[in-house]
Amino acid sequence: MRHRVSSSLTMGITARPPPGGTCTQSSERRVAAMARGKQQGSADMLSDAGTGRLTMGGGDVGAARERSRRRRLWTLFLLLLLPAAYLWGRLISGDPLDIFDLSLPSIDPMLLIPALFFLALIAVLVGSTIGAGRSPHVTYRPEQIDVTLDDVKAIDPVKDDVVRSLNLFLAHKAFSSEMGGTPRRGLLFEGAPGTGKTHLAKAMAREAGVPFLFVSATSFQSMYYGATARKIRSYFKALRKAARQEGGAIGFIEEIDAIAMARGGLSMTAHPTTSSSSVMCCGGLEGLPTQYAAAAPGIVGGAQSGGLVRNLAGMTSEGVGGVVNELLVQMQSFDDPTGFQKLHTWFVDKLNLYLPAHRQLSRPVPPSTNVLVIAATNRADNLDPALLRPGRFDRRLTFEPPTKAGRRELIDFFLAKKAHHQELDAEEQRDSLASVTQGYTPVMIEHLFDEGLVNALRRGDQAMNRQDVERARLVEEVGLGQPVAYTEHEKELIATHEAGHAVTAWLVAPQRRLEVLTIIKRRDALGLLAHGDAEDVFTRSREEMTGLIRIAMGGQSAEELFFSDISTGPSGDLLYATNVAAQMVGAAGMTDTLISYAAVQGSALSDTNLVGRVLSDKDGRERVERILQEQKSHTRALLHENRHLVEALRDALTERHELIGREITDVLEEAQKRHRELLVDVRTSAAEGATTLGG
């Protein structure tokens, strides 16, 4: 019995957990569960960052902001605790503080006035010095920005990449701790004006829910030596401070090329001149050349050598170099210690002087600031190469004019907010607008509709129609019409010339879109035919290139057919055709030679553009001349067979002065229909006459 009891006691003692064991195990389980939950949360966050879009203020940025908010509340509580305890202590002791019984010390005015004067003088001197180095940025809060990522249209590839960068910005801690990666710290937006660089940056700041520090690069510049670098330091200091307070901050520098041009003696590209691999690029010839006297590759100042732009023209000043150096340092030194940490470090260093090596106090680690710097420029190739390396600008995104699908999306977006007639709601009308606005940027499309609304007001309407938009486009692309009192001969000559162009285009290039045919003087053109591709194209075939030459020759051929003479009008057409033919001969290998004149270096021919190289060579000049003569002969024969079309279009132009879009093709189709009916009548009459004679 005793043994049994002893055994039970022993068993009871053995089964009893040690004091605090249950609490310790449960605490460990809670810690493990929290760790698993945190790890799962980080995994979910990274999954969303890779495939979706993190919400505003979400991820690590939202958590850091909440911690900063609580820290500020605790700081405020502690700061108010001491005066509150003092006031309550006096109240409890029966001696409350009466703020209405406070009296200021009396000071002799003869002493006060000089003291105030010198204090004001010191404030002015110190204030001017401090103000010269003050950051010129403007801070926008998310609620002050009315642009969202849903408002960004027609740049889907760039937008998708930006969303990924934004997700990494919002989940920067999870990306670093769980995956060991380094989030992008800088994005460089390059592209033509009006392609949406600033628009997208504002949408990023709204989506991220963090402060947006906007600054123009020109506002950093100062007349005082060294003040520009001080302003740059102040800007990045403000950026880091905002990031610590809000969990993150986005800085946007507009036109950064104003302060970041390549320093003297450096190549203005971040890529090496040689590489172990080579890339073969397909060059697309879009339309006819827009520049006929561009600097040749390889020459000083505009140089392209092997596809890389180089700064060989001269050295930059020491001041500019110092500004670039400061910008480089600041973009690499985001994680700077705060003022309190600097003071803490100073005290620790002083104490460590008296402590042995194994008793040294650890210094505070600078906090990691979540900063994303975005810069926009139209001249990215002229920036200093050190800026374009990873760690500063990690991503270089190119903004290009939207494609036809993108333009259609923009047209739908803008017309939803602008007054217009029902005809512009038709699918074919919007598709047509998307076609005729090839090369337009988003800003240009919006401006086109604004000008259409202005035209509607001029005719007394409060909603625009298609004609209003077309008139606005014609003014934007060609210029305002300048009525000129032509003589009757000039009027007929110009109308015949332009009709020759239009008929040739309608016959040899049915895939092209006839937009405007006019004999109203605009800028330097007495008359013109505006025509373009029905769809966006990026390459041209030999047949298309010869078709363009024939269209250019249509005006001169029509003059010869109807007047047996030629005027000075075709001079621009010949320039046009010569450039196309030179491209065919010297660059595209569309004749009996495969030699590329663009490859000529280190000779007299390399000191000019492609057309000059081709025409300076005897064989090349002969090939160009042969192409032009052959296509002119073909065009003259074509117009001779279709004189009725030229006559009909000439008469319509003489009467109406300007034809737009379908008005051109309607005249041609009607003339073709009448001609066929006339041929049928003639053949019928001939057949009846033959029958009568036979009878």
Q: What is the CA radius of gyration of the chain?
A: 38
Site of tokens 């001779």 = 640
Other C-beta atoms within 10 Å of 530: how many?
Answer: 16
User: Would you call 153 exposed, middle or buried from its count of C-beta atoms within 10 A (0-12, 13-18, 19+)?
Assistant: buried
Active-site residue flag, 207:
no
DSSP characters over 33-50 = HHHHHHHHHHHHHHHHHH
80 neighbors 86 (Cβ within 8 angstroms): no
* Run of H or E residues at 447: helix 442-458
346 in Cβ contact with 143 (< 8 Å): no
Residue 229, both tokens: 């670098």
Cβ-in-10-Å burial (0-12, 13-18, 19+) of 400 comes to: middle
Q: Which residue, 321, 323, 127, is CA-closest to 226?
A: 323
Are 481 and 521 in contact by the 8 Å Cβ rule? The answer is yes
Write the DSSP symbol of residue 389.
S
Distances (CA, A) of 346 to 369, 486, 531, 603: 22, 86, 73, 66
Three-class SS of residue 395?
A: strand
Encoded tokens for 147:
């642009």
531-538 contact pairs (CB < 8 A, 24+): 531/502, 531/505, 532/435, 532/436, 532/438, 533/287, 533/435, 533/438, 534/435, 535/404, 535/435, 536/403, 536/404, 536/438, 537/286, 538/284, 538/286
Q: Provide CB contacts within 8 A for 627, sequence distance 6+.
A: 546, 549, 581, 584, 585, 591
Marked catalytic residue, from 409, 498, 515, 559: 498
Six-digit token string for 271: 């890529």
Among all chains, which residue has been given the structure tokens 């379908």?
Answer: 662
β-strand pairing of 521-522 with 481-482:
antiparallel
Quickly count helices (H) and strands (E) in the chain.
21, 13
CB 586 within 8 A of CB 613: yes
CB neighbourhood size of 249 (10 A): 27
The sign one gets for the Cα dihedral 644, 647, 652, 655 is negative
Catalogue the active-site residues: 498
